[in-house]
Structure formats: structure tokens, C-alpha cells
Structure 1
Amino acid sequence: MALDLSKVGERKKLKKQREPHWQRLRAGCFLGFRPSKRSGPGSWIARAYDEDSGKYQLKALGDFGELVGNARFAAAKKEAEKLAELVEAGGEIRAKLETVSDACRDYAKSKTEAEARFKRYVYSDPLGKVKLDKLRRRHVAEWRKRLEQTPSLVSRNKDGETRTRSRAPSTVNRDMAVLRAALTKVLSPGAPNSEAAWQEALQAIRNADRQRTLYLDRVQRKKLLAAIDSEIAPFVRALCLLPLRPGALAALTAGDFDKRTSELTIGKDKTGKPRRIQLPAEATGLMVEQSKDKLPTAPMFMRGNGKAWDKNSWKKPIAAAVKAAELPAGATAYTLRHSTITDLVSAGLPLLTIAQISGTSAEMIERHYGHLASDAAVKALGELAL
């Protein structure tokens, strides 16, 4: 008599052994079940025949412990059929991912920012060692608590002394977002309000991204440029001309600028996807000047030591210029990006266009700057009436 793993009672009668008990779903597609030796829910395995290699490919599916007994077979069967379709189409099975750290490393293969966050907060944390099929809400909730209590590094001086501050809710959200994305690729969400609902512990803190209201007008930005050190002046001038993130601007190389078309390719940015933008005349002139006689791989904005600017090297000269120009004390490199975006919105440029140039979503532009677009529209209507 053929084995029927869909019946909970039949599964309970199965002998506890290393080799799974197999049920044939169709030609070349099998679903296996291995009973737990410790009264657990047991684990499921899929097996699919690969005609090219003449061998079966296996994939561990986990225990589906978040589901009730009679629903586990259906979920496992669905995953086994997906595996068979993948193998039959010539696809490859990913390397076996057992722990949370494995899932994070797989996700971060081409995402340097995510990898950096995982190195700081996951790989060395107890959460990293938790098996994926054993992950529960409490594991993630405990990790989140540790993360929220970890101070953020503000600066480090030459003597090794560090200054820190409490971790901001917006920073916690960014750290959680990459972990949530990594786990979502390999795990299904658990049943709501259950211990299996690991995703619930990673819900973002609402209203954490406070609007950046500090704005420097054109006169104030000219004062800043007049007071800035000559070494960093081209970099700061570019921040005043283009609505780019400071990190993305600092990462530019001479080869990213096409003098013939006045186009700039922004590669390293928050979105992770390169984009090309058309530069206005003044910004084009600056890029022509900065890329002159440089190799394509050389930093577009180069420090005296030949290295590119970064947040640790641009902070002090900008802060010193802010103080010398008697500008608001909270002004930073990012303030210039916010100020430039504000000017573009106020000038009536379409929000979608601004979003594409600045490397963010139209939703974020609408959320933070939408009121300015409304003001610009009202002003335009008023001028029309005149």
C-alpha cells in the first residue's frame, strides 16, 4: 500500500529513522518526511529527478511547525512541486542555508551595505546561529532589543577614543529592513500572533524618519562655499548643485562622467542600481574641471592624499565652515541635499523627475516635500491670474 503523508495519523505511526519516508507525487517528484526523535513536528524533504545529470536533487523544506498538522503536507507538497519545476526547467538549487547567518550571507552577495550591517549586528550575535527552521518570534524580538540598546558611533579620533549616541529609531528601521529582506527570501511569514510569526518582531517603527527641516537658502550656501577649505570646496560645491547623497557623490570616479553628452552615471547609492542623469551647465563645468587629466578609475573628488572623501573626512571641514559662516549649527553635508531638493520642488519640477535625479522614490519626495509642490502650484496659479 502506497504511503500517504497527508494523513497526520499515518505520519505519527512512521518509524523514526535517518532516511526519510518518501511519497511519490508524480514522475520524478517525491516528498519525504522524517519523524522527529524528540516529539517535534518532524521535517520535510523534497526530491526531484534531474535528467541532465541523471541524479536526484534534494532540498530540505523545514518542519512547517507554524502550521497545524493537517496543513503541513499541503505546504510541503507545494514546495516539492516548485522544486521539481525548477529542476525540470534546468534551474539550480541554491547552496543549503541552515542558519540566519547563512541566509544573510546569501542575500548580501551583491549588496555591500547589507553585508556591512550584517557584520556589525547579525553574524556575531546569537541570532546568527539560530537554525532557520527553528526561528521564532522571541529570537528576533530579543535581537531587536539588543540592537536598540546598541549605541551608534558618531566619531573616532586618532587616539582610538570614540563618541557615540543612542540609536535613532530611523537607524533601527534601516538595520531591521535588511534582515527582514534576507529572511523573507528564504522563509514564509509565520501565522499571525504566534511564536512562528518571526516577521512581527521586525515591524518598522512608525514615523521614525523625521523630516529634515533645516534648509540653507542660496545666500547661505554661498557663504558656506566662501568659508570652506579649498581642498573640499569642489565636493561641497557639487552638493550645492546636485541633489545627490553625499556618499554617492563621494563614490564617483572620473569615468562616471561623459563630457560629450554631459551625463553622469551614479553607481554606488542607496538604491543599489546605477542611474544616469543629465547635468545642467554649471554642474557640467564642475565635472569637466574635476575629471581633467584623471584616469577613469580615479576619484572624481579627490583629497590631497589621493583618496576619495568619506563621511569621516568631510564632517570636520564642513562643520568648521558652518561655524565660520555663522550658519545654523545643525547644518551638515546632507543638509545640502535636502536644500537642493527643496529648491527643485519649489521651482515646480515634477516630483517623479526629482525622485529619479536624487535616487529616491516619488513617494518619499511626496511625503517630505509635497507641501512645497502645492505651494509652487498655488504661486503659479496666482501669477496666471495676474
Structure 2
Amino acid sequence: MAKTLKEAPITTASARSKLPNGEYARRLDADAAIWYRRGKRGGVWFARWRNHGAGANYLQAPVGPANDVNDKPTDGLLTFAQAETQARQIVAKARQEAKAAAAGPVLTVRLAVETYVAERDARDSRRKGRTVRSDAGQRLRRYVLGQDKRGKQEAVPGAKLADVGLHALKESDLLEWRKALPEELKGTTEQRLINDLKAALNGAYAAHRERLDPTLPAIIKHGLKADKVDTDEAAPLARDNQILSAAQVGTILSAARAVDDEGKWDGDLFRLVVVLAATGARFSQIARMKVGDVQRAQGRLMIPSSRKGRGGKIASTPHPVGKDVLDALLPATTGRGNDEILLERWRSKQVRGSIEWERAGRGPWQFASELQRPWQEIRKRAKMPAVIPYSLRHSSIVRGIRANLPIRLVAALHDTSVPMIERHYGRWIADGLEDLAAAAVVPLVPSENADNVTVLRERA
């Protein structure tokens, strides 16, 4: 603001009532001021600040009508203190936007998410050897960016959040977006979506720190933090009916063998389910196993590490298995190179001009959804309608806990963390350690005849 700015007594209603019609100012800082304009029908507040960009020397914006009756807060009328606060906010926002625009195209949530989606799509395409759309990209397009009509899917408009500039992003923007998510959205899906958005915004901040406010990471953290569960009872990840005994796992494997034979899978389906049951590994890990990961002499399988987290993991984890598992995998290893994918399946294509299908070669398992249809047949034959493929992982973890293996070892074998094991499998940890805890029990309650006992003198 010009140094010759003449300030006027406008801080109280009484002082303003003595002023003739006109405009009067009070300095906010060296380049900005809160102004009061007095007219026949009352006074109004507005902010004016120096424009350091191209164009006019000064910019201004209305603040609101003035309370010229008294200095108490009134609906619709602003005291000097209220007007000053709003004026400072207006000036700060304008300067922030001007700074962001001067540094290049304005960085928005949409741009941050689009960049992140492109990176995830490229990464997943590189891993699968063909162009694919990542799960993260599909979620973010549907609930943030918006998407056009595709097949039977209706068009989805973009979220209001997408057009917010990162320089102006507030915690309330993120909370409003979360509140607007569909109620029928599963909790796990919602959390993955939130994690994807958080990664996109943090990635944008890391790439453009010089252009963004240093408080942005805190806004992202608090606006997208996980909700606390308001309950006194912990909700375990694994339900009781998903923890299978060894006999039940055997029933599942027998059913898988039968479905494999009937469906002419040539053992591909059976071997996949065997490895899932024997290791408790995730589908995505098993699908990447190589022939060389079957180490028959050592009696173990080498399980590739998951791609969760930020890296820094070992390439694979040894998992001891029995001779029965190694024998079941023998057809998949005999006569094959160590670098070939271990578990494959037949691919089919429709015969041109016919409704028939024919085999078109073999390839690796690609998606967990490929197991969905045969799994329906497996659990129907096993007469276990509620069991899911992930129950094999739950059961493997609980078997290790019940065998009193160190929790750290159970976590390492299943490529997860000790806190995760303790959080979701705490009940079975207590059950598995019951015998150890029982050995520590000592008599505490004195007998009724304790007063009649005579204590013998100790020897010198």
C-alpha cells in the first residue's frame, strides 16, 4: 500500500458515525488495507491491496455491510473486527492464487489425481506386460475425476473436490468429499480409495513443494485420516467361520481336485489352490512365482514379497511345505526352466462364426477374479457355502499362532506386520498361549485352616 495512505478512525461505530460520506481506510499491512465507505443508506466494508502482477495497480473485493449501530456481532452486519478478519482472509487467498498462477498452470486436485493414475496404470501395465487400467485408477475416476458412459456403466460426474486448487485446499474440502461418498460403499473399498487420493495429493506436494503451502501435508493427513471405530469391541478381520481346520482344508483341496478333473483344467486349478492353502500367501504373490521358487531339496517354496508398502523388502520369503505339496507341484516343474512362471492355465478363444471355444495356448494366472467362478463350484462340492479363498490365508496364520510360533515369524512367513497380526488375530493369539499362561498359575487364596498352621523355627 502507498506510504501516503491516510488512516481514519473507523474501528468503532461511534467513531464512524461522526465521519461525513466518503471512503476511509485502516492499514492491514504494507500493501493492503480494510476500507469503509459511508453513504446515505449506511456503510460497507471492502478490501483493497496492491496487485503485483500485470494489470491494475490495485485490486479490491467487497467484504460486507457495516454495523454502524454498535460494536456487537449482528447477523448480516459486520463490526470492524469481523470485517478486518474477513479482509485479511480475502487478501491472503488472492495473493496465494496469484502466486500459484505466476508459477505456471494452477495445480488442482484433478491434475494431481490424473498424474497419479497415469503412474499407476503404467506400473501395472509394465508388470503385466500389456496395457491395463489399475484398480486405483478405476476407483479415482469413479469417485473423484468422473468418467464417461462405458458399456452398461452410466456416466459419473466429477467430484467438486477435483476442481479445487492445491494452493487453496482445506481440510473441510476433503471431509465434505468423504461425506458425499455412497453409503453402500464397502469400508475396505472406501479406505483404499482414500489411500489412493492421499498418495496422489502427497505425490503432487513432493513434486511441487516450492509452489505449495508447507501446511498442505498436514491438511491432507487430517482430512483423510482413518476414522476411529466408536465401539468397545474389536472387529476381527477373520471371522470364526473363515478359520478352517486341517481337515476342512483337506476337504477344500479334495473338492478342488474334483472340479479340476471335471472342468479339464489339467491340474492348473488344483495346484493353485494347493499353494494358497500351504503358504497362506496372497494370490498376487503366488501368481508371480517361478519354477525355481520350488526348492524340493530344502522342502520349501520361495514366495515373492508383496508389492504393498514403500519397498525395502527382501525379494522372497522361504516357506516350508510338506512332501505332499511338493509332489502336487511336480507336473508344473518337470522339464521347465527356472525362470518360467510356475502356475499357468489354459487360455481359450471363441471359434470364428461359432459358439464353441478352443484352447489358444497357456499363460500365467493374472487376476484373482479368475478364481471366482471355479471357487463357487469348489465350495458347493465341499458343502462349505460361506468359505472364501482368503480363508486359506486366515487359516494358515491361525495355524502358526496355535502352534506357538513366534508372532514375528508368523508375520514374516505371511508377509505382513506384527501389529497387523496382533490387531486382527489377537483372539487366537490368546488361545494359542493359553497352555503357557496356565503353567504360570499359582495358588493365591489361603486355606481356611491357615491360622492353625504353626510355623517351625528356621535352622540357624
TM-score (ref. length: structure 2): 0.55
Matched residue count: 299
| 1:236-285: CA deviation from partner (whole Å, max 9, x where unpaired) | 11111012122322343446556676552415543465641113142555
Partner of residue 208, structure 2: none
1:227 aligns with 2:255: yes
| 1:277-327: CA deviation from partner (whole Å, max 9, x where unpaired) | 113142555555434444566542212222333222211212211121112
Partner of residue 279, structure 1: 319
Question: How far apart are the structure 1 equivalents of 2:340 and 2:428?
Answer: 38
1:212 aligns with 2:252: no
Partner of residue 82, structure 2: none
Stretches of structure 2 lacking an aligned partner (at least 5 in a row): 1-26, 33-48, 56-87, 125-134, 147-157, 206-211, 348-361, 442-460
Question: How far apart are the structure 1 equivalents of 2:171 and 2:181?
Answer: 15
1:40 aligns with 2:93: yes
Instruction: Point out the more displaced range, 356-365 or 209-218.
Output: 209-218
Letter in 2 for 1:315: Q
Distance verdict in 2 for CA 1:199–1:216, change over 3 Å: same
Distance verdict in 2 for CA 1:218–1:100, change over 3 Å: same
CA RMSD across the alignment: 4.0
Contact 1:265 1:277 in 2 (8 A): yes
Q: CA deviation at 1:225?
A: 1.0
1:320 aligns with 2:382: no
Question: How far apart are the structure 2 equivalents of 1:366 and 1:337?
Answer: 15
Question: How far apart are the structure 1 equivalents of 2:386 and 2:428?
Answer: 22
Q: CA deviation at 1:131?
A: 1.9
Q: CA deviation at 1:132?
A: 1.1
| 1:315-359: CA deviation from partner (whole Å, max 9, x where unpaired) | 1212211121112x2211101110111101111111122212212
Q: Calculate percent identity across the aligned residue pairs.
A: 22
Partner of residue 121, structure 1: 143
Letter in 2 for 1:270: K
Letter in 2 for 1:173: Q
Stretches of structure 1 lacking an aligned partner (at least 5 in a row): 1-6, 20-34, 46-59, 64-94, 150-165
Contact 1:62 1:133 in 2 (8 A): no
| 1:197-219: CA deviation from partner (whole Å, max 9, x where unpaired) | 56544232334975211211111
Partner of residue 304, structure 1: 346
Distance verdict in 2 for CA 1:278–1:289, change over 3 Å: farther
Q: Among 388, 400, 406, which residue is 1:350 paired with?
A: 406
Contact 1:351 1:365 in 2 (8 A): yes
Question: How far apart are the structure 1 equivalents of 2:406 and 2:28?
Answer: 59
- Structural mapping, 1:1-386, within 5 Å: 9-12=29-32, 14-18=50-54, 40-43=93-96, 98-107=107-116, 109=119, 112=124, 114-124=136-146, 125-126=158-159, 127-149=161-183, 166-185=184-203, 186=205, 188-189=214-215, 197=219, 199-207=221-229, 210-213=236-239, 214-228=242-256, 229-230=259-260, 231=265, 232-254=269-291, 262=300, 264-271=302-309, 275-282=315-322, 283-284=325-326, 286=328, 289-294=331-336, 298-305=340-347, 306-309=362-365, 310-327=367-384, 329-380=385-436
Q: CA deviation at 1:36?
A: 11
Question: How far apart are the structure 2 equivalents of 1:97 and 1:210?
Answer: 44
Question: How far apart are the structure 1 equivalents of 2:253 and 2:95?
Answer: 67
Contact 1:97 1:103 in 2 (8 A): no
* Secondary structure in structure 1 of the residue aligned to 2:346: coil
